[in-house]
Structure 1
Amino acid sequence: MSAMDFSSIYGVSHKPFLTLFLLFLLPLHSHSHNSTTSAQINSNSILVALLDSHYTELAELVEKALLLQQLEDAVGNHNITIFAPRNQALERDLDPEFKRFLLEPRNLRSLQTLLMSHILPTRIASHHWPAADLLHRTLSDHHLHLASKPSGQRTVDSAEILRADDVLRPDGVIHGIERLIVPRSVQEDFNRRRNLAAISAVLPEGAPEVDPRTHRLKKPAPVPAGAPPVLPIYDALAPGPFIAPAPAPGPGGPKHHFNGERQVKDFIHTLLHYGGYNEMADILVNLTSLATEMGRLVSEGYVLTVLAPNDEAMAKLTTDQLSEPGAPEQIMYYHIIPEYQTEESMYNAVRRFGKVSYDTLRLPHKVLAQESDGSVKFGHGDSSAYLFDPDIYTDGRISVQGIDGVLIPPEEEEEERTRRISPLVKVAAPKPRRGKLMEVACSMFGSFGQVCQ
């Protein structure tokens, strides 16, 4: 029996039910369509206006903090209010150490929290400004204190509003403020990072001296007999066992007081985010095991300065230079100085002494540094390189200085040049001569009238 037969039996047609079903689905379809289109950002959005506004420093930080997608989702759900610090507050008035802290890759979360603390998930224009003091929650779950002074000046926490309703859009508003608002959590992260106990920074010092005869670390000379003690008697007294403190965690101990692996990972991430040093990072991590070895050295308390060639310089290396066994390691060893040097310390040294030779991890070769054109020049002749990107990474134990060339020891450079330009000289084979015994025999046979052939 067909469907028409069933409808005729019960006296009900299918058309009313089909109509009701379509009417029920229509609002659902329109709601889903609106929800998908609301997430799209048009050209008249407040985010587009922020990126095109004169608040260039804030827009640059938003892009570096990778917040565009998160802000697009927020604008798709509700209007927002942005308190934008002026460019001078971010460019000149900001503490250089604090700005360096915010731009480090490992502190990305702190930068995001700082920027999201300047954005409210609602629209508050100047004519909607609260008359009484009011706390508003930001996108970072912090609270901003909105107030008005008796003089009529509006403030946000401790920052005054300089340009109210500077940018108006249908989905938000931007107010210009005089200074940056720093949440307490970000300030605590910065103080914790700056604390010497947290970063385990050490004073710049040279590499430990090794006795060439015993291949062990040199120890201080013993105090001669009869000389006064070096330490005062109060410092020389050992406390009793019941008040003796626990030994402090030392380098390489089970507590890993010096976390060299983390420091090496941080500076490699900094190289990648800095840009232009991907080949150097690839050699340290993938082509060799130098990253692990450097982490162990730093964990033991050693300090290192890495002269990092940029990608353009690394591209000039030939296949022959990298194909020999151990060649990448030897090249990198020549670019690692077992001292902690910064751009300022090296430039002051070459300015004062003219030429300075630094030890490298590739014994016994040293790298020569000298002043040239207001910068530091490393190496000799054709394989020289200039200090191109100073202080890419400095944390007290590892210093990374970008250079524009690959350094080669002068001895190897001379051998390679000689091998490349010296022509092949054909050596004439000496004419074979008869031995003494044959000559004597021929002279004897000649006396009998026979000639030696």
Structure 2
Amino acid sequence: MGVRIYGALLLLPLLLASGATAAEPEQPALPASGGGAGSNSSGGGTGTGVNSNSVLVALLDSHYTELAELVEKALLLQALEDAVGRGNVTIFAPRNEALEHDLDPEFRRFLLEPRNLKSLQQLLLFHVVPARLHAGSSSWPASPSTHPTLSGEHLELAGGEGEAPMRVGTAAVMRANAVVRPDGVIHGIERLLVPRSVQEDFNRRRSLADISAVLPTGAPEVDPRTHRLKKPAPPVPPGAPPVLPIWDAMAPGPSIAPAPAPGPGSGKHHFDGHSQVKDFIQTLLLYGGYNELADILVNLTSLATEMGRLVSEGYVLTVLAPNDEAMARLTTDQLSEPGSPENILYYHMIPEYQTEESMYNAVRRFGKVRYDTLRLPHKVTAREADGSVKFGHGEGSAYLFDPDIYTDGRISVQGIDAVLFPPQDTPNGGSGSSGTASTAPARKAPAVTGTAKSKLRRGQ
């Protein structure tokens, strides 16, 4: 009898422990701090490495499909798993319509570009607060207050009492407590939240259509004869005769039939140089392989404006455009000095209208031709080599391998495969003399590859 009682006493703790283990799954607990988010990374049906009842899994399976797709494209699953593992989170999810139709197409294209991955991550993390903010409870602030987000920037929350709507930044909460889980909550909001850092980054890479914003539109004009402000022209009533004579209105412009440029200062400033500069930059982007040059021209607004002013005054330009591979070889030291990008590009602009055919005929006839550049007083030397036109000397030379990318009678763009420097500014520090050119290894013209738009080089 004593043996039975003693054995029962030994089995009692084991029964209690097994009963507690069996009852544990009925109460889902928060993931443990530090390792809860990655404990199931090797297994599990969701593939996210979190508990199947997690708010992160609920986001991926919810009807906020556009936001979930952006999270996957931004490679943020691991970061959100770590945040969920550290504690409760609150996710403000924009509705699908706000991301599909209401979002600016230029801004959406900016977010999906691979080089802007950091901006997309900052934008999405701006929608996640590392705290549980449950609507209808004391955790949601009644008066406006700021809360830190996973992006490092603060988000303002307000509302929740009386008739005041709940707001998150500039967006209203459409579906409060849309998804509630033990480790977080999801609120549906009406629009996307854009942090200041992402907006500034987008403004720096603004659309090409905004290049005209550098012009003082609407600024008062001064009459140079009387030194008084010009009065704006009165509006033309409907049905009134045209302000310009009918012959001037029907005269062909450069976009219809490019004519020889009038001399500088002739008074015939009817060429819209700024539109033509935007057109040739847009052509570089559509052509492909010249994105770095286009990006510099867009961000260096003074240079683009100067080119537009020259064309408007009757000048013509030939741009020797280095491709992306050539621009990638530029070092930080070559671009760090003030005005370095402008000086480099000024040396690639010839104040003449030259095509691939005219340049090739010139070097074939004269052997060597020296063209003036906008970086006075430096000139760029051209000669015939390997059936093409070769600019510069020795290692600092470049071949014309992408001819006539853009030709409109005012601006001519010729693609080259290296960045040119004046003789005293060569990257290796040489003077560009004949001795240096003779000791430099000979460079072969690159093979013509790419789309059907590329023309075969002469002599090939």
TM range (shorter): 0.3 to 0.5
| TM-score, normalised with respect to structure 2 | 0.41
If each structure's helix is expressed as a fraction of its own residues, which one has the higher value? Answer: 1
- Which protein has the larger Cα radius of gyration, Structure 1 or Structure 2? 1
| TM-score, normalised with respect to structure 1 | 0.42
